[in-house]
Amino acid sequence: MKPYSEETRARLEKEAREIIARYPQGHQRSALLPMLHLVQSEDGFVSANGIELCARVLDLNPAEVSAVATFYTQYKRRPNGEYTVGVCTNALCAVMGGDVIWDTVCEHLGIGHEETTADGKITLEALECNAACDYAPVIMVNWEFFDNQTPESALALVDDLRAGKPVKPSRGPDHVPTFKENEHTLSGFEDGLVDQGPSAGEAALLGKRVAAENGWGIPADPGWSAPAKEGE
């Protein structure tokens, strides 16, 4: 991999120093985590160039940067696809069809867990719980939710992504950002999408609506407290 150009290096260093400035004096090393996301927003993975940049700006040894980058699965050691497609295969999603969706998508794309299509469009991941069990089975694309999926809808989704067609998640922004765009946001820079789309769907709001219809609420007695757990 070629070294960063002077222009790219200057831009990344400027943003890296903006990240570092968020942390109190003496705690600048904590900036390493968002800085690794910054590196991925440029290279699509934690590259040797990115490790060198983080080490130099934070006055760390490259081995220290590598140790952090290899500890967390959110940091990639080889180029990630433009879109990470995560199929939830945990208990509820699995029994609702997640396992079938996973097998179908793997066969269709010809890749497995943490592998990337030859065109560089999709990296596939089998995910644990996405905290969206009320919409099972769930697929996430670059951490945006696609609810109540079927094998057919999953195939249509990955085909649209590979064809470059815009896709709209069930909840959240009006379109799915690319992996690199998301990584820039995760490094702490706003993407302007925070207020787009609903954050909660019908299934998540059902309990609130039923409570309102029945006049249910929390106890009004200021002396009320939750029952003590056994053994407390």
Average pLDDT on 171-199 reads: 90
Q: For residue 131, is pLDDT > 90?
A: no
* Distance from C-alpha of 165 to C-alpha of 170, rounded to nearest angstrom: 16
* Distance from C-alpha of 137 to C-alpha of 6, rounded to nearest angstrom: 46
Q: Which domains does the chain have, with CATH numbers?
A: 6-71 (1.10.10), 83-177 (3.40.30.10)
* Distance from C-alpha of 94 to C-alpha of 125, rounded to nearest angstrom: 14
For position 165, what pLDDT does the model report? 94
pTM for the complete prediction?
0.85
* Distance from C-alpha of 96 to C-alpha of 118, rounded to nearest angstrom: 30
* Distance from C-alpha of 170 to C-alpha of 147, rounded to nearest angstrom: 6
Average pLDDT on 98-122 reads: 97
Q: For residue 225, is pLDDT > 90?
A: no
The lowest-confidence range among 96-100, 168-172, 204-208 is: 204-208
For 32-69, write each residue's pLDDT tens digit: 999 999 999 999 999 999 999 999 999 999 999 999 99
